[in-house]
Amino acid sequence: MATAPIASGGIRTDAGGMTSEERKVIFASSLGTVFEWYDFYLYGSLASIIAKQFFAGTDPNTAFIFALLAFAAGFIVRPFGALVFGRLGDMIGRKYTFLVTILIMGSSTFIVGLLPNYATIGLAAPVILIALRILQGLALGGEYGGAATYVAEHAPHGKRGAFTAWIQTTATLGLFLSLIVILGTREAIGEEAFADWGWRVPFLVSVFLLAVSVWIRLSMNESPAFAKMKAEGKTSKAPLTEAFAKWKNLKIVILALIGLTAGQAVVWYTGQFYALFFLQQTLKVDGAMANILIAAALLVGTPFFIIFGSLSDKIGRKPIIMAGCLIAAVTYFPIFGALTHYANPALEAAIKSSPVVVTADPAKCQFLFNPTGTKKFTSSCDIARTVLANASVAYTSEPAAAGSVASIKIGEKVIQGYDASGLSKDDAAAKDKAFKKEMGDAIKAAGYPAKADPAQINKPMVFVLLLILVIYVTMVYGPIAAMLVEMFPTRIRYTSMSLPYHIGNGWFGGLLPTTAFALVAYKGDIYYGLWYPIIIAAATFVIGMLFVPETKDNNIYAAD
């Protein structure tokens, strides 16, 4: 059997079929991102249980907020992990840095399953939990860039898009793996035992994934491109300085962020997480039904990561990513409007037939942006708008006299708001309860449904719409790893590509649900939050088309 042509440094020069060693490289590299998504879905799915276990010293609402903050901490520190591990990857090698990140990330996930709860060790429990989440985020900051770099540097020219696209499919595998373990454990031991101690099992099971990952990665060779560069004595002594203190490379980092990853991130988060949020929170679709529909769309859509990654080897990365950003920006409003029509037609009818008006002092109406979940909105305007937004009620705003208390007109009924500033905790709670009841009764009388009627949900059409959103995700995400690798020289590639990727996905993408909700509450239009991903995606399209060059034919084996 003929062997693939090999250039100096172990770099394959042909574009033939994938070898067994290359399949092993892709598998080993992808396991880290499976870990990422496995843990992501585990923590998100079990947030309410984790809140009770580790933040029991506070009231239930505050406990849930802190559980979500611990979750968010992993995203916030991702760019810092990109700097730390990117530097190591460019100085000592891809393989060993890659091994360290999987060990940190996998061990942190496993230890969460062993961690004593608040009732056992008190305040130390949430402190350790947050520390573990930060370690996971730091390791993740080095994991993706390492995976993309390692796979791309093993791929022959003309196959980098196809090879690296396999890494992008791991979100689906991580989702299904977490669902299988959670559902299997619940079925095996029962809901009560699961809430008590069984929730630990999915975290503990991750040790098997970790063991396989470490075993495979120990057997891997160093990246051919890095090995060649190291043999020639061309490795960087100061990757951070070269990557970010020299304008020649820094401008490419900035372009990679605003001309590629920012738009890719918001399309990715809109197509999966905001779509799920919209179904559950806005359209009031049952959580299990919403998750099944999203999971089905992901399952059917996942092969398109490979399709678009492979296509980018032929026609280029840039046209596919830019087309994904543009098509998404142009079609989000009609797609989400159609989701409302097919998932909750009663809500669509209520929005059209029962207009709601909030009359308030504009100076008392804040922009309800609350990324940490800890900010308190106490003005009558803010309280009223939050209640309406949570109930998916569309409304318009009219100005009132300075200092006046907000009033809400629902149909023919006018409800007087209240101002919580200065009230004691008990008085504020009593006012809040009475106000929400009065608002809830009026909203119900106006025809707004408390939840989507399962009998009225057109499941095939909702699935098709979600699949379209997932295909947008595969367009922008399938070719992105190869393109980022190809934008930077080998000596500082790990550092350079990791930072814009994790700022784009950790911050631009991670803030999407919170920002979108704030926009909806601010304007009173359930679709207004879509302006955030639309503007970012459109800006990325314009900047990318004007300033980002095509990369598919770049020589990625050059040190400089």
Rounded to an integer, the average pLDDT of 16-26 is 76
DSSP state of 46: T
Is residue 415 classed exposed, middle or buried when 0-12, 13-18 and 19+ CB atoms within 10 A define those classes?
Answer: middle
**Poorest-confidence range of 19-23, 90-94, 275-279, 367-371?**
367-371
435 located within any domain: yes
Residue 1 has pLDDT above 50, yes or no: no
In a domain, 547, yes or no: no
Average pLDDT over residues 9-34: 71
Per-residue confidence (pLDDT) for residue 8, from 0 to 100:
39
82 and 216 part of one domain:
yes
pLDDT of residue 7: 41
In this predicted structure, the answer to whether residue 421 has a pLDDT above a threshold of 50 is yes
**pLDDT greater than 60 at residue 133:** yes
Residue type, 211: A
Domain that holds residue 365: 349-445
Would you call 392 exposed, middle or buried from its count of C-beta atoms within 10 A (0-12, 13-18, 19+)? buried
Any idea which residue has 């530097």 for tokens? Answer: 87
Whether 33 is covered by a domain: the verdict is yes
Give tens-digit pLDDT for 235-278.
778 888 888 888 999 999 999 999 999 999 999 989 988 898 89
Is residue 553 in some structural domain?
A: no
Q: How far apart are the first and last CA of the chain?
A: 36
Q: Residue 531 corresponds to which tokens in the numbers above?
A: 């302006």
DSSP 490: G
CA 483 from centre of chain? 20
Match 């990330």 to its residue by tokens: 105
pLDDT (0 to 100) of residue 550: 96
> pLDDT tens for residues 190-207?
888 998 999 999 999 989
pLDDT in tens, 334-365: 999 999 999 999 999 988 888 889 998 888 88
Q: Render pLDDT for 371-393 as a digit per residue (tens, 0 to 9).
A: 555 567 788 888 888 888 878 88
Ranges 247-256, 279-288, 440-449, most confident: 247-256
* Domain's final residue, options 233, 268, 300: 233
* Domain final residue pick, 233, 260, 291: 233
Contact 544, 325 (CB under 8 A): yes
Does residue 417 carry a pLDDT above 80? yes
SS3 state at 550: coil
Instruction: With residue 360 as reference, give the H or E element that holds it.
Output: strand 356-360
User: Taking 60 as the threshold, does the pLDDT of residue 536 lie above it?
Assistant: yes
> What beta strand segments (E) does 403-538 contain?
407-410, 413-416
13-27, 133-147, 175-189, 474-488 — which one is most confidently predicted on average?
Answer: 474-488
Is 541:328 a contact under the CB 8 Å cutoff? no
25 and 166 together in one domain: yes
Secondary structure of 14-37 as H, E, C letters:
CCCCCCHHHHHHHHHHHHHHHHHH
Task: Please report, as a single letter, which amino acid is at residue 376.
Answer: K
Report in angstroms the alpha-carbon separations of 23 from 150, 163, 279, 306, 315: 12, 9, 38, 14, 24
Helix axis angle, 493-503 to 480-487, nearest 10°: 130
Q: Could you tell me if residue 459 is inside a domain? A: no
pLDDT at 11 over 60: no
Phi/psi of residue 374, nearest 5 degrees: -105, -10
* 66 neighbors 136 (Cβ within 8 angstroms): no
**Which of 388, 411, 445 lies at the terminal end of a domain, its last residue?**
445
Token digits for 248? 């020649």
- Average pLDDT of 512-525? 82
Given a cut of 90, whether residue 60 has pLDDT beyond it is no
pLDDT-above-70 percentage for the chain: 92
Across the chain, what does the average pLDDT equal?
Answer: 85
Angle CA(335)–CA(341)–CA(347) in degrees, nearest 5?
125
Q: Comparing C-alpha atoms, which of 96, 100, 92 is closest to residue 229?
A: 92
3-state helix, strand and coil shares in percent for the chain, rounded to the nearest 5 = 75, 5, 25
Q: Which is higher by pLDDT, 103 or 321?
A: 321
Q: Are 45 and 190 in the same domain?
A: yes
Query: Does any domain span residue 540?
Result: no
Q: Is the pLDDT of residue 323 over 90?
A: yes
* Contact by Cβ (8 Å): 471, 231: no
The answer to whether position 257 is within a domain reads: no
Which H/E stretch holds residue 357? Answer: strand 356-360
- Residue 480: closest CA among 509, 453, 458, 456: 509
CATH of the domain at 427: 3.40.30
User: Which residues does 246 contact at the CB level (< 8 Å), separation at least 6?
Assistant: none
Q: Is residue 367 part of a domain?
A: yes
Query: What is the domain-level CATH number for residue 228?
Result: 1.20.1250.20
Are 202 and 78 in a shared domain? yes
Domains: count for the chain: 2
Name the strand (E) or helix (H) holding 47.
Answer: helix 47-54
